[in-house]
Structure 1
Amino acid sequence: MKALEHPNSSTLVSKAIMGALRLSACTLVISCNAMAQIAGNFYLDKSVFARGEPVVLHFQVTNNGSRSVNILQADPYSFCSGYEITVSPDLTGSTGEPSCPKSFAGDCLSSDTALGSGATKTEDILLNYEHQVNKPGDYEVEAVRRLPYADARVKYFEGPQENIEVRTKLYFLIDPNSSAGPASLQSFVNQLHAQSSEKRREAARTLASLAPPALENILITFADNQEFRQFAPLAFHRLNTPRSMAAMAELLTKTQPGTYEHMTSADYLAQSGDIQWFPLLREVARNNARISNYVTDAAELGGEKMLPTLIDLLKSPDKEFTRMNAITGLGYTHTRDAVPILIELLRNPDQNVVEYTEAALRILTHHSSSANPSRTLVSDYPRWSQWWPREGATAPIYKSNNCADVTPLP
């Protein structure tokens, strides 16, 4: 496997990384030679990459048995594909109950595909797409694949299935002395016009993920291309120029609420920290208050400026969605004034209100009234109402993305 090999002439990989590479080889052999009809392994093409170069992780699965099998087939970037991939420095290493809100996966499409005896299938995953790997330095990849398979003689989703699980650690370096220039990416520009729709989409994904400034004119056109539009928000975010961010705002006004492009554009505008986009996000939140992402995006960017809108949304007759989203939004404001509002909400007899309020308070204060923050079943208004006057003036107030362990109230 090329990722575990390193030419003797290269001095770019640190000794610590080289030692880890040797350790990784042992881990990989153990995980890939389990007693199963099919076996899998992860690998990289090389261990040193230039800045701005695509870093592609490959997963290869082989049928070592004498009979054909059907294996799961799904978009490798979707949760139902069975992949779990983390890239340092994305790893947080938190050991307690994190304060950051958890996301939950929904439905996604999957099917099966045949893998004959002795056959091999390889899937490619562009690490640049979901991870920031553009800065020079050493990176660690933790890759897991859980892959179910079944005898090809029975229907895949109806018959019994077996599973393999492959776990691997790989390492690579982004070379600070080397950059991928526009000429090296021209093949992806050409691939935008390939006959295969799959190749066109992968080219668009790659260019959006890398977002080279020299190709800004091409990337801006993604917003008006139905086939590439889903990659436009990422391209604009990674470009991060006044022109690209203005194009992001325009995309938000032109696309339908609830679509991937609309929601992702709102997310990235909120993450920009540029207050000029707050009026737009506030308007989107008001008009789509039943969708929590829009409310939290406006709260994240606007902070205390969003409080009047959130207070209005708390009065909405829609108790199931709008009110709950307003409570969650308070947790995203990163403002001290939101805490007493939330504490008063703990007096509400509605258990859903209490649970959402406790979650918002955890985000803002990194405190919980329960020793087990994920299982707050009753309101502990007295403890919060006593703690805040005593320590509220000096207690740290956190941003929603400032994940840390939650501690019980004293």
Structure 2
Amino acid sequence: MTIANFIRDTVLRPRLLEAGCMVVYDPDQRYQAICAGLEDDRVRVIDASVSSIESRLAAIQALSEVGRPKSSLDAVLVYVPKGPPAADEDKQIDPFSIYAASGAVFPKDDGDDYLSLCLRAKPDHSTEVRRVFAGATTGPAFAVIDAIGGGASWPQLRSALQVESGREVLTALLAPNAAQAEALKAQEGWSDEAREFVSATLGLSVKTRGKTWNSLADELWRFVLFSEFIFDLPVVLPEALKGVPHAPVEARPIVEDVCDRLRSNPNTRSGYIERAEAIEIELELAGQCSAIEDLGERDTFPFEERTFLKSAIKGITTNDTDVTRRLLTRHKNSVWLGKGESQSQWELVRAGLSLVEACEDYERQLPEHARSQADLLDFEAPRVFRRQFSFGYAAISRFSRAA
């Protein structure tokens, strides 16, 4: 399906027929021919680019006809070759805003912008779509979008994996279930399609010549996880790692989504952990990135989780508890919490933060209870909490030095 047909048949036509009246605002005049193609015996299209006065009259007549009982007209579309009115004052000036208010409007929200429509039309080629948009300030022509993919649908790969969307295909290539793994062993032809798929989706040019899943998986796992790591890294990549292959930034949405799926799915989580640990060692990431304090927000590799833990502890010991609180919230569901003593160490940090907050609360209340000795004796809790805090703080300090 061409992008023009996709927009016409899956976006404009259903919305128009449901509302009975719709205004299409198109400052780039990209959708004019598509709108004209919607006209038939039961749909009237009014093109305001021809004559403003005549189009106003035609719109009034068409809308009146749509509203009649047993009308032969189902809907009216008004095409306006300019942007939609933003403010109420602009709507008062726009002669067609009343039709948008009484029916539907396009674009309705960010989901109707040209890039979003193209991504919906070409879900398996999102990386290439984003790339061509990055090189075209006003958006690529329909012909450019239609050329993406070249009709590739990877039928043998989809048949072997029994999935449809590109993200499902990539997830299954990384971590196939038992049935998918057996199909990849038994069937032929999927390997070449898999190479084409990862090239189109991720920009990965597979180096291995092997045609088995194992040979492809090793390279694909390294490529995907390292890509997520550098996408999230807020500083310059260490020089020694700049030669490691990774996806272009346009592939970031699919890379992050697939990694999230692998970490959150109980069936793939252990495989993810095993692969991430092996890749971290292979690339010597902990040593190469030892001087980096801010590794971003995602803990793709286990060494990142240790760095985040140290930062959370530092937040308590330096009285910057906002940092600690933010890290505790961000990593409460980390895939690495189940490794070793990680969970108990994070719980210790959480307990330390609670003690700090409790002590601060009681410190604020103390002046109200210091008017007399009796009031102060009644307000025994602060002293107890400070004693508990001293033990907790000492424990965290020892752990900080050990970490």
What range is the shorter-chain TM-score in? 0.3 to 0.5
**Looking at both structures, which has the greater relative contact order when contacts are Cα pairs under 8 Å and sequence separation is at least 6?**
1
Q: Kindly name which structure, 1 or 2, has the bigger radius of gyration based on alpha carbons.
A: 2
Query: When you count helix as a share of all residues, which structure comes out higher?
Result: 2
Structure ranking higher in strand proportion: 1
Query: If the length of structure 2 is used for normalisation, what is the TM-score?
Result: 0.33
